[in-house]
Structure 1
């Protein structure tokens, strides 16, 4: 247990991660490609089906499913898009980490489909959606959290809330511990 606590001290803090986020010089837009074939956007672009079709979006991951102002659901998107909704709150108490793996799996499956491009959105496209994309990069591409943040802020103004950053730090530690365990075996 002491070794785990010692390891934890080497990790960035939420405050360190917020400093990385504060270094972003990009203005927030409606939609940005943040990783090949992965877009983060706001609710306005998510509800503009013709714009999504022009961009070639095939999958929509709504991190604000059934929240006020977010009308997207399976019936809204019909057969034009594969839809997944996560009813997340952008709050300091919401356990978004229970959705990290399902969201990452949805994104991964979307990108594996022919011509797959995925839009991950919430209301503003800054906190919930970016948190889920960061979790995907960490789980499927083994990108450490701080490096994933640095990559995303080169493409979009994001700002996961403090709670989500803490949950991502926990995921980062779990993934690193798991990777080291696998290397030992």
Structure 2
């Protein structure tokens, strides 16, 4: 909580979000359904086509496209699975926010397709992939960042890096401002 220009205003910080993340007691699994028909997983499960077919995965969003150990493209998955690759680095300098809307649109279209189920993955399934799912929940499901984090933490051990948390806070602020403007109009 902070005071801004004499007005008492509540806002979250990266440290606040890290405290929420630190409260998670779940163990990290290969894959978890974190929202109806949305799964977050690691690269090993993403490269196991038999497991994906068994789960009914129809779409794969790879948040570590062309990164160390992360093979994947449309020809790898064939006709049964729609692929989207985002070449994100899990570091404090990567601007993942430029992909927030592209990723959210891909997830949204996947869920609208018949029997659509989407796997969002990176290398471990903790930082890049969870950040993109959080952005989707904020953009399309109209959850605040805190609400989205709480929902995911009930289903999976996630830990977006500090940079990604800051980018999500910016998105949260933008979406909140947009909501307020729409209410005024």
TM-score range, shorter chain: over 0.9
Instruction: Tell me the CA shift for residue 11 of structure 1.
Output: 1.5
Q: Kindly tell me the number of residue pairs found equivalent between the two proteins.
A: 182
Aligned-pair RMSD on alpha carbons? 1.5
What 5-or-longer segments of structure 1 have no aligned partner?
none
Q: Is 2:32 aligned against 1:32?
A: yes
TM-score, normalised on structure 2? 0.96
Q: 1:7-56 deviations in whole A, cap 9, x for unaligned?
A: 99521100000000000010000000000000000000000000000000
Q: Which residue of 1 aligns with 2:94?
A: 94
Distance in structure 1 (CA, Å) of the matches to 2:129 and 2:26: 17
Q: Which residue of 2 aligns with 1:114?
A: 114
More helix by share: 1
What 5-or-longer segments of structure 2 have no aligned partner?
none
Give runs of ≥4 in structure 1 deviating > 6 Å: 4-8
Q: Which residue of 1 aligns with 2:154?
A: 154
Q: Partner of 1:92: helix, strand, or coil? A: coil
Q: Which residue of 2 aligns with 1:105?
A: 105
Q: Partner of 1:102: helix, strand, or coil? A: helix
Distance in structure 2 (CA, Å) of the matches to 1:8 and 1:144: 20
Distance in structure 1 (CA, Å) of the matches to 2:6 and 2:152: 28
Q: Partner of 1:57: helix, strand, or coil? A: coil
Q: Which residue of 2 aligns with 1:170?
A: 170
